[in-house]
C-alpha cells in the first residue's frame, strides 16, 4: 500500500514530521517498507534576496550579486540572465550538495571575483527541466527553508511517498483513510470528518441491476450503481495525476483515475462501464454458466474462461466483468465515452479469492475485496465517486439502482479492561482503553464494544486487547521473568529418540564425516533408483524438476552432493546426513535415517603409505561404531538381504532377527553411474528408531568379573568353500564351549588364485584365534586339547571345511 503525505493529510489533521509518522506506522503494525522523500535532497536550501546586482568586471554575461541570506549579506557571481536586484531566490551555500549538477559547492573565485554559493535553477534542483534562469519566487522570506516554501506553494514537489506493508487482517488500511485513523488513535493528529455527498438523481437509471438468487446470501449481498450521462472523459487534473504517479500508478483517463483514487484513498473499489456498450437495460450479477464456457477479454487484454463457481456481471449479450476482480475490455471507458454506469458493490471475500486464484489475476480490486471492504460504505462511496465524476467530467447523474442490502456485520464483544494486564502485561486505565477503541471507530455500550464495519478482523475479546495494546505501543512493554517450571536443577527434556539422533550425528562426525543438510525433495530419477518416486510422494507444484519427489533415502542427496564435490576437484570425501526420509505421502510416513558415504581413499597420499581406497569394511566398521554408540546389542545378524541399490555381493544388513537396524556396502555401480558419481563408493545407512532402547533403566553397570587365571589363545585355520562366510565359522566356534570360550576373532583369510592352487579350486582358508578363559583353575593340556577338538568338530560341521594342515 502506497500513499503520499499530502494524501494522508487529506484525512489527518497533523503537524507531525514525516519521521514521527513513519515510526508510528511501523510501530502500529503498518510496517513502513520505503519512504521516498523528494524534500530530503532539497533540505539544505534556503530563500534569499538579491539586494544588488552589477556586471562582472571581467565578463559580460556574469553578474556580481549581493545577496541577503539568513547568514547576512553574501557575494555571489551568477550567470543567469534574470539575476537582478529585488528578486527572491533559492540559495545553495558552500558545502551544500546540488542534486541537478551533482556537485558539492565550495567558495569559488570566478574570473577573480569570490563567489559564496549559487542561486539555483529548477533543473539544478531537479524540480523541472527549466534552466533559462534562476528560480524567482513570488513570495517567501529570506532564511525560510525552500522545502517549507514548496510545501505551502507547490506541495506536490515535496510530497513524500510512503510504502507500507499491510498484513492480511487490515483491509481498512488498504485505504489512506484507514491509515489516518490509526495515526489519529495513536495521537498523531485528528481524523478529519468524512465529506458527505448526497447526489440527487436527475432521471431514472436506464440500466437496472439484479443479483441472482444464488448469490444474494453469500457471493454478492449488495450491488448498487447509477448511470451518469454526458460526461467528458479527458485526462484527469494534475493533482490527481501526480498522486497516482507518486504511488506508481499510470494515469489513464479521468474516469479510470477516479476509480483508482477511491480504491487507494478509501478502500472502495469501483467499476465504470461504458453505458452504451451494455446491451439491454439490466446488469445481472450471477455465477458463470455451467452449460457453456463463458469467456471474457478483460481490461488487461487477456481472455479468461469463467468457471461456474465464479461470479460475473453480465448484460443481455453475456459477461461484461469478472465480478470484483476486473472489468471487460469491451465495456471499458475510452476518451469517446459519454455515458457511463458506475458500479459499487460488496463481494464475498472467499469467492473473490478463489476466483482470483483460479484465474491468476492480481488486481487492486481483488486484493481489497478478498481481504474485505466496508460493507456499509457501498452507497456512500458511490455518491462520493459520482460527485467527483460530476466535478471532473461533468454530466448528469441518475437515481441509484440497487439490489440486495448492506451485509449486516454487527457484533459486540465484552471489553474486560483487566484482560490487558493478564494477557499482555501492560497497565492502561479503562478510560484510555475505551477512548482508543472509540478513536478506531468502535462503539461502546456499557462494557460491550461493537467493531466498526470496516474491521472484519475483529472477532473476539482478544482482538480488543490487541487493538488497545497496538495503539498504546508494544514498544513500551517491559519483560517479566517467566517462572521456572520447577525449582532446582532442570530435568532432562529430550526423548530417547532425540538423544539417539544426537549420538548418531556426533559419532559419525567423530568418525571423520562432514555433515550435510540436503533437500528433502529430489528428482524423480534419483527417487526411483532408491525405491521411491511414487505418486504418493510427488509434489504437485515443485519449484524445479530437481525437486519433484520426497526422498525415499538419504543416499541420493549425498551422492548428488558427492558428484558436485567431485566436479570441484575433491576425490576423497566422507559425507553424512541425519534426517527424515519419506516412505509415503501421509503425515507420519517419515523415518529418521543416519547415512554416511565414503568415496575415494581413506587418507590423502602421505610418506607412510596411509592412502588406500575405501572399502566395504570401512563402511561396516563405521556402521558398527554408530550402532554401538546408540546402544545396539553386540550380537547381531548379518544378512545379504539388501535393497537393489547396493552391490549384490558387497553389502549386508545388520539386524536383530527381522528388525534391520543398518545396511552397509558398496553402492551399486549402475546407481553411481546414473547419479554421475565416480566410484566406487561405500556407504552405510542406519534406521535410528530401529535400534532398540537399552533394557536397563538404571545407570548402574553390571558387575565386572575379572579372572586371575591366565587365558589361553589358540589359532585355527580351516579350508572351506569360497562362499562360506566367516561368521558361520565364528559362531560355530563360539558355540563349542560357551562357558570356556571368551572370544573368537578372525585374523586372516587366504583367497584367490594362489589359495586355490594350494587348496583346490573353489576353496579358501580362514583363520581365527580362540581365547579360552578358565574360570576356576588353570587349564591342563588335556582340557585345552579337548576344547580344541570340539571347536574343530563344530566348525567343520558348520562350514563343511577341514582343519588346514
Residues 564 to 593: which contact another protein by CB under 8 A?
564-565, 568, 570, 573-576, 578-580, 582, 585-590
Q: In angstroms, rounded to a whole number, what is the distance separating the alpha carbons of residues 558 and 338?
A: 69
Spatial contact of 355 and 310, defined as CB atoms under 8 Å apart? yes
> Is residue 522 a contact residue for another protein (CB under 8 A)?
no
Q: Extract the C-alpha cell encoding 312.
A: 460475473
> Is residue 354 a contact residue for another protein (CB under 8 A)?
yes
Q: Which residue of 506, 678, 790, 804 would you call a contact of another protein, by CB under 8 A?
A: 506
Residue 729 CB neighbours (<10 A): 25
For the chain, the maximum distance between any two Cα atoms, rounded to a whole number of angstroms, is 134
> Is residue 168 a contact residue for another protein (CB under 8 A)?
yes
Torsion of CA 355, 358, 363, 365, to 10 degrees: 10
Contact track, another protein, 23-62, x by CB under 8 A:
---xxxx-x-------------------------------
- We find the least distance from the C-beta atom of residue 162 to another protein, in angstroms, to be 16
Contact track, another protein, 431-470, x by CB under 8 A:
--------------------------x--x-xx-xx--xx
The nearer residue to another protein, 23 or 396, going by C-beta atoms, is 23
Query: φ, ψ for residue 4 (rounded to 5)?
Result: -110, 165
The nearer residue to another protein, 354 or 786, going by C-beta atoms, is 354
Tell me, by CB under 8 A, how many residues bind another protein.
Answer: 106
> Is residue 485 a contact residue for another protein (CB under 8 A)?
yes
> Is residue 519 a contact residue for another protein (CB under 8 A)?
yes
Q: In angstroms, rounded to a whole number, what is the distance separating the alpha carbons of residues 2 and 657?
A: 68
The nearer residue to another protein, 86 or 604, going by C-beta atoms, is 604
> Is residue 531 a contact residue for another protein (CB under 8 A)?
no
> Is residue 163 a contact residue for another protein (CB under 8 A)?
no
Strand 659-667 versus strand 681-687 pairing type: antiparallel
Alpha carbon 247 to chain centroid, angstroms: 25
The nearer residue to another protein, 425 or 669, going by C-beta atoms, is 425
Spatial contact of 110 and 56, defined as CB atoms under 8 Å apart? yes
Q: Which residue of 16, 151, 197, 536 would you call a contact of another protein, by CB under 8 A?
A: 536
The nearer residue to another protein, 443 or 498, going by C-beta atoms, is 498
Our CA angle for 522, 527, 533, nearest 5°, is: 105
Our CA angle for 166, 328, 2, nearest 5°, is: 20
> Is residue 541 a contact residue for another protein (CB under 8 A)?
yes
> Is residue 602 a contact residue for another protein (CB under 8 A)?
yes
Candidates 782, 781, 776, 785; CA nearest to 736 is 785
Residues 603-662 that bind another protein (CB under 8 A): 603-604, 606-608, 610
Q: Classify residue 489 as left (phi > 0), alpha (psi -120 to 50) or beta.
A: beta
> Is residue 321 a contact residue for another protein (CB under 8 A)?
no
- We find the least distance from the C-beta atom of residue 163 to another protein, in angstroms, to be 16
> Is residue 502 a contact residue for another protein (CB under 8 A)?
yes
Residues 400-429 that bind another protein (CB under 8 A): 421-426
SS3 330: coil
Query: φ, ψ for residue 103 (rounded to 5)?
Result: -135, 140
Q: Which residue of 336, 475, 545, 805 would you call a contact of another protein, by CB under 8 A?
A: 475
- We find the least distance from the C-beta atom of residue 101 to another protein, in angstroms, to be 31
SS3 231: coil
Q: In angstroms, rounded to a whole number, what is the distance separating the alpha carbons of residues 287 and 310?
A: 5
> Is residue 360 a contact residue for another protein (CB under 8 A)?
no
> Is residue 169 a contact residue for another protein (CB under 8 A)?
yes
Strand 590-599 versus strand 681-687 pairing type: antiparallel
CA distances from 617 to 254, 661, 779 (A): 81, 17, 36
> Is residue 488 a contact residue for another protein (CB under 8 A)?
no
Q: Which stretch binds another protein (CB under 8 A): 292-300, 445-453, 504-512, 780-788?
A: 504-512
Amino acid at each position: 500500500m502506497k500513499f503520499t503525505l499530502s494524501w494522508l493529510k487529506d484525512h489527518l489533521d497533523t503537524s507531525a514530521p514525516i519521521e514521527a509518522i513513519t515510526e508510528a506506522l511501523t510501530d502500529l503494525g503498518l510496517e513502513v517498507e520505503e519512504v521516498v522523500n523528494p524534500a530530503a535532497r532539497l533540505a539544505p536550501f534556503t530563500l534569499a534576496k538579491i539586494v544588488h546586482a552589477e556586471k562582472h568586471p571581467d565578463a559580460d554575461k556574469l553578474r556580481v550579486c549581493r545577496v541577503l541570506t539568513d547568514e547576512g549579506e553574501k557575494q555571489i557571481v551568477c550567470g543567469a540572465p534574470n539575476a537582478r536586484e529585488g528578486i527572491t531566490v533559492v540559495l545553495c551555500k558552500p558545502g551544500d550538495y546540488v542534486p541537478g549538477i551533482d556537485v558539492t559547492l565550495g567558495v569559488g573565485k570566478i574570473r577573480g571575483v569570490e563567489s559564496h554559493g549559487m542561486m539555483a535553477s529548477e533543473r539544478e534542483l531537479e524540480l523541472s527541466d527549466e534552466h533559462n534562469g534562476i528560480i524567482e519566487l513570488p513570495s517567501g522570506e529570506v532564511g525560510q527553508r525552500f522545502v517549507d516554501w514548496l510545501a505551502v506553494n507547490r506541495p506536490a514537489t515535496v510530497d513524500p511517498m510512503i510504502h507500507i506493508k499491510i498484513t492480511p487482517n487490515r483491509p481498512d488500511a488498504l485505504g489512506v483513510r484507514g491509515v489516518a485513523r490509526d495515526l489519529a488513535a495513536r495521537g498523531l493528529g485528528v481524523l478529519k470528518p468524512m465529506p458527505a455527498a448526497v447526489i440527487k438523481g436527475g432521471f431514472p437509471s436506464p440500466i437496472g441491476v439484479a443479483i441472482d438468487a444464488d448469490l444474494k446470501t453469500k457471493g454478492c449481498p449488495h450491488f448498487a450503481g447509477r448511470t451518469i450521462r454526458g460526461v467528458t472523459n479527458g485526462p484527469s487534473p494534475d493533482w490527481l495525476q501526480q498522486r497516482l504517479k507518486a504511488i506508481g500508478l499510470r494515469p489513464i483517463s479521468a474516469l479510470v483515475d477516479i476509480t483508482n483514487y477511491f480504491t487507494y484513498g478509501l478502500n472502495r473499489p469501483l467499476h465504470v462501464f461504458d453505458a452504451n456498450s451494455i446491451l439491454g437495460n439490466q446488469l445481472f450479477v450471477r455465477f458463470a454458466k455451467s452449460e457453456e464456457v463463458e469467456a471474457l477479454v478483460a481490461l488487461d487484454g487477456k481472455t479468461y474462461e469463467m468457471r461456474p463457481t465464479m461470479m460475473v456481471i453480465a448484460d443481455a449479450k453475456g459477461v461484461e466483468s469478472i465480478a470484483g476482480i476486473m472489468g471487460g475490455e469491451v465495456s471499458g471507458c475510452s476518451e469517446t465515452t459519454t455515458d457511463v454506469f458506475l458500479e459499487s458493490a460488496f463481494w464475498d471475500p472467499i469467492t473473490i479469492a478463489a476466483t482470483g486464484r483460479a484465474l491468476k489475476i492480481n488486481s487492486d480490486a481483488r486484493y481489497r475485496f478478498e481481504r474485505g471492504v466496508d460493507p456499509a460504505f457501498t452507497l456512500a462511496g458511490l455518491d462520493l465517486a459520482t460527485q467527483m465524476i460530476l466535478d471532473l467530467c461533468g454530466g448528469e447523474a441518475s437515481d441509484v439502482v440497487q439490489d440486495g442490502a448492506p451485509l449486516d456485520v454487527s457484533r459486540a464483544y465484552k471489553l474486560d479492561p483487566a484482560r490487558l494486564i493478564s494477557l499482555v502485561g501492560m497497565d492502561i486505565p479503562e478510560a484510555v482503553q475505551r477512548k482508543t477503541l472509540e478513536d478506531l471507530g468502535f462503539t461502546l455500550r456499557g462494557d460491550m464494544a461493537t467493531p466498526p464495519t470496516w474491521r472484519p478482523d475483529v472477532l473476539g475479546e482478544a482482538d480488543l486487547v490487541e487493538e488497545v495494546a497496538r495503539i498504546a505501543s508494544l514498544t513500551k512493554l517491559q519483560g517479566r521473568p517467566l517462572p521456572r517450571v520447577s525449582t532446582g536443577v532442570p530435568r532432562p527434556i529430550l526423548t530417547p529418540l532425540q538423544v539417539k539422533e544426537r549420538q548418531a550425528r556426533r559419532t559419525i562426525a567423530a568418525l571423520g564425516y562432514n555433515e550435510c543438510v540436503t533437500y528433502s525433495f529430489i528428482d524423480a530419477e534419483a527417487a526411483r533408483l532408491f525405491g521411491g518416486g511414487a505418486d504418493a510422494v510427488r509434489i504437485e507444484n515443485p519449484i524445479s524438476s530437481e525437486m519433484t519427489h520426497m526422498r525415499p533415502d538419504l543416499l541420493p542427496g549425498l551422492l548428488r552432493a558427492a558428484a558436485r564435490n567431485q566436479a570441484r576437484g575433491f576425490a576423497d570425501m566422507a559425507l553424512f546426513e541425519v534426517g527424515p526420509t519419506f516412505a509415503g505421502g501421509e503425515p507420519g510416513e517419515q523415518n529418521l535415517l543416519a547415512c554416511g558415504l565414503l568415496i575415494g581413499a581413506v587418507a590423502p597420499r602421505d610418506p607412510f603409505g596411509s592412502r588406500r581406497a575405501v572399502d566395504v569394511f570401512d563402511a561396516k566398521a563405521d556402521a558398527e561404531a554408530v550402532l554401538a554408540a546408540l546402544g545396539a546389542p553386540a550380537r547381531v545378524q548379518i544378512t545379504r538381504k539388501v535393497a537393489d541399490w547396493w552391490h549384490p555381493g558387497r553389502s549386508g544388513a545388520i539386524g536383530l532377527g527381522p528388525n534391520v537396524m543398518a545396511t552397509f556396502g558398496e553402492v551399486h555401480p549402475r546407481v553411481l553411474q546414473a547419479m554421475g558419481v565416480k566410484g566406487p563408493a561405500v556407504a552405510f545407512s542406519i534406521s535410528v528408531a530401529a535400534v532398540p532402547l537399552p533394557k536397563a533403566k538404571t545407570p548402574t553397570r553390571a558387575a565386572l568379573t575379572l579372572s586371575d587365571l591366565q587365558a589361553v589363545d589358540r589359532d585355527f585355520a580351516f579350508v572351506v568353500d569360497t562362499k562360506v562366510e566367516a561368521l558361520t565359522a565364528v559362531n560355530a566356534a563360539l558355540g563349542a564351549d560357551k562357558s570356556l570360550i571368551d572370544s573368537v576373532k578372525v585374523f586372516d583369510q587366504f583367497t584367490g588364485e594362489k589359495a586355490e592352487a594350494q587348496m583346490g579350486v573353489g576353496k579358501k582358508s580362514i583363520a581365527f584365534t580362540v581365547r579360552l578363559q578358565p574360570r576356576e583353575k588353570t587349564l591342563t593340556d588335556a582340557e585345552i586339547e579337548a576344547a580344541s577338538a570340539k571347536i574343530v568338530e563344530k566348525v567343520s560341521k558348520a562350514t563343511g571345511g577341514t582343519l588346514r594342515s
